[in-house]
Amino acid sequence: MLYVFGGLPGVGKTELSMQLAKRIAAVHLRIDTIEQAMRDSGVRDIGPKGYNVAYKVAYDNLTLGLAVISDSVNPLNITRQAWRDVATQAGAKICEIEIICSDFTNHRRRVESRISTVQRLDLPTWEDVIEREYEKWDVEHIVIDTAGESPHESMMKLENQLGLS
């Protein structure tokens, strides 16, 4: 199974995707980590390269029969379709999960108080987040709203939606 997470920075997707990876013993692919490793290696124009690396690593692990979780903003329908293509090519099922925070004030507070867990990663500002291109999802998917909830409460909702509880 390929679990594809998406959502704007600061909504809680990394926390939830990492908790899910631990819960089901899945490979966790975080685009921030991949892209920062590329920058650390001297790659300056990242563009879609980080996603392309993740697609290949996801495919390899899916063909080994492992569950894979992708953790990224995944802002465009073209990137979402690329994940679907990876699942199809690997003969795996896919579950798409969008994490949102419907409380504007709470979301802003989260963005402005975040501390990076990826060494040397520059986190986006609130202005970066609200100006970011983010297309509406065009397929049925799970939506978890983390507004006003603890990570534990949001994880319980996600586990329920996935049939893991």
**What is the three-class DSSP state of 125?**
coil
Q: Which domain holds residue 86?
A: 2-162
- Looking at residue 44, its pLDDT comes to 87
Residue with tokens 């199974």: 1
Share of the chain above pLDDT 90, in %: 90
- Looking at residue 47, its pLDDT comes to 86
**What is the three-class DSSP state of 1?**
coil
Per-residue pLDDT tens for 90-129?
999 999 999 999 999 999 999 999 888 888 888 899 999 9
CA 159/CA 135 separation, integer angstroms: 26
CB within 8 A of 114, min separation 6: which ones?
9, 10, 123
Neighbours of 7 (CB within 10 A): 25
Per-residue pLDDT tens for 4-62?
999 999 999 999 999 999 999 999 999 999 999 999 999 988 989 999 999 999 999 99
CA 33/CA 140 separation, integer angstroms: 28
3-state helix, strand, coil in the chain (%, to 5): 50, 15, 40
What CATH number does residue 103 fall under?
3.40.50.300
Q: Where are the beta strands (DSSP E) in 10-88?
A: 27-30, 68-71
Share of the chain above pLDDT 70, in %: 100
Q: What is the pTM of this model?
A: 0.94
CA 66/CA 60 separation, integer angstroms: 9
Q: Give which of 130, 24, 8 is closest to 75, Cα–Cα.
A: 8
H/E segment holding residue 143: strand 142-145
Number of domains forming the structure of the chain: 1
